[in-house]
């Protein structure tokens, strides 16, 4: 291999947003690796200052269309904590269903349209559809099902308008929930077939760096996306209020997005694989069977496993959505559920496990309910430093096996690692570098 080899991917395809990869190899070792995030910065935290709390969710949801429901619910959670608002059990369940809809839509898109073509040897999902037409059609129907849930609960599929501090503007009818329940139940056999297909696909060995995984402890003894504390795979646990001390953000010259590390400077991973690693023992039903097939030991650190962890969560999200629909149908039908509250000064932190990992929102309000300070830490920003570490490992492992590997093959491996993290670049560049 020639000394001074450079590998550049100017635009990473099949991810949300605009980014690239730069790798420099000297003497057979990687001397430099960058995940370049060059999408334009969004100044949401500064924009929110002085805004009334009622405007917050409508603004912050615009960080990203794919993640709009996730940002909305997390923002509402933070605002309600700031003002001491406690929502009803019905509202809690409906927000959970909204988050599950976002997870179904996002995971179905990523696993089948963005990641799977790499494993099956296709350049795109369109090329893959020539040989796997039925699978692609069913995957798109799953994505559409997630969008329908968001539309039913949030008022529309993108950027919810029905979500309010204290509840919802309008509740779904029993008739709508019954239709949704039927469609969710019909999707389960389709997911079983997808799990069986994935189980036949070997994962390339692109690195097994020992990784620290971080996820929220579920609010109950079950696999849930809302949590009460920050946990690591090393057995550490921290209160949500200490998230700024636990997660240290920092800037890098090559990226419009901040990176993050733990207190000791260690990189870490959030997302589906982290959640399955920490809380997979809570999974039940088809999701448990899917995990046992796709991630049987849960001990490996291959980042490509995040794709299969997303498929496991996709199965869980459909099963959990069925449970919530059944619970809601067992209660009297209501047209509205909005608790009264008094506007007051306060500070609140919202933290939710969203499709790509742990999302934090924090707002401080004055006595008139106007924003004094806002802070958002997204999953992709937390993952970027660990992603660069895994890109380095993938290159070095590939070159050890074949020093003359063509750039084309090396680029594909880099792209597979980057796509496994399912980065949401739009979310990651929500603020300007300091």
pLDDT in tens, 102-137: 999 999 999 999 999 999 999 999 999 999 999 999
Give the pLDDT confidence of 178-192 residue by residue, as tens digits: 999 999 999 999 999
Q: What is the mean pLDDT of residues 356-375?
A: 98
CA 386 to each of CA 68, 259, 395, 420, 421: distance values in angstroms, whole numbers, following the listed order = 25, 9, 15, 12, 10
Pairing status of strand 337-338 against strand 167-168: antiparallel
Q: What is the mean pLDDT of residues 267-278?
A: 98
- Specify the pTM: 0.96
Pairwise CA distance, residues 73 & 52, whole Å: 17
pLDDT in tens, 63-99: 888 999 999 999 999 999 999 999 999 999 999 999 9
pLDDT at 1 over 60: no
- The pLDDT tens digits of the residues spanning 143-179 come to 999 999 999 999 999 999 999 999 999 999 999 999 9
Q: What's the rounded mean pLDDT across residues 289-299? A: 91
Phi and psi angles of residue 203, each rounded to the nearest 5 degrees, phi first: -90, 130
E strand or H helix at 19: strand 19-26
């Amino acid at each position: 291999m020639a000394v001074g080899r450079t590998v550049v991917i100017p635009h990473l395809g099949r991810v949300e947003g605009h980014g690239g990869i730069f790798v420099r190899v000297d003497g057979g070792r990687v001397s430099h690796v960058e995940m370049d995030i060059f999408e334009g910065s969004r100044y949401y935290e500064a924009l929110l200052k002085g805004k009334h709390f009622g405007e917050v969710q409508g603004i912050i949801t615009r960080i990203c269309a794919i993640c709009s429901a996730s940002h909305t619910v997390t923002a509402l959670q933070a605002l309600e904590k700031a003002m001491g608002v406690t929502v009803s059990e019905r509202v809690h369940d409906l927000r959970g269903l909204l988050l599950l809809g976002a997870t179904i839509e996002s995971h179905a898109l990523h696993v089948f349209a963005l990641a799977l073509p790499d494993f099956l040897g296709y350049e795109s999902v369109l090329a893959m559809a020539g040989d796997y037409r039925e699978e692609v059609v069913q995957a798109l129907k799953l994505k559409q099902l997630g969008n329908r849930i968001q539309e039913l609960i949030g008022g529309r599929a993108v950027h919810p308008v029905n979500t309010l501090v204290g509840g919802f503007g309008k509740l779904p009818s029993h008739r709508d929930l019954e239709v949704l329940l039927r469609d969710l139940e019909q999707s389960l056999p389709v997911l079983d077939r997808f799990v069986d297909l994935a189980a036949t696909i070997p994962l390339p060995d692109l690195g097994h760096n020992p990784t620290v995984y971080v996820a929220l402890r579920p609010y109950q003894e079950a696999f849930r996306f809302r949590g009460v504390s920050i946990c690591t795979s090393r057995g550490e646990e921290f209160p949500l209020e200490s998230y700024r001390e636990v997660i240290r953000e920092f800037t890098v010259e090559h990226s419009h997005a901040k990176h993050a590390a733990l207190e000791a400077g260690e990189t870490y991973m959030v997302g589906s694989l982290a959640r399955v690693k920490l809380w997979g023992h809570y999974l039940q039903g088809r999701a448990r069977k899917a995990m046992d097939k796709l991630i049987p030991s849960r001990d490996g650190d291959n980042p490509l496993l995040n794709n299969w962890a997303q498929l496991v969560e996709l199965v869980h999200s459909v099963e959990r959505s069925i449970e919530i629909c059944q619970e809601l149908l067992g209660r009297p039908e209501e047209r509205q559920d909005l608790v009264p509250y008094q506007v007051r000064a306060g500070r609140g932190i919202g933290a939710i496990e969203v499709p790509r990992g742990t999302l934090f929102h924090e707002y401080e309000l004055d006595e008139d309910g106007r924003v004094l300070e806002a802070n958002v830490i997204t999953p992709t920003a937390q993952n970027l430093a660990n992603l660069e570490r895994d890109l380095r490992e993938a290159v070095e492992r590939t070159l050890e096996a074949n020093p003359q590997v063509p750039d084309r093959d090396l680029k594909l491996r880099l792209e597979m690692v980057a796509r496994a993290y399912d980065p949401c670049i739009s979310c990651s560049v929500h603020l300007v570098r300091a």
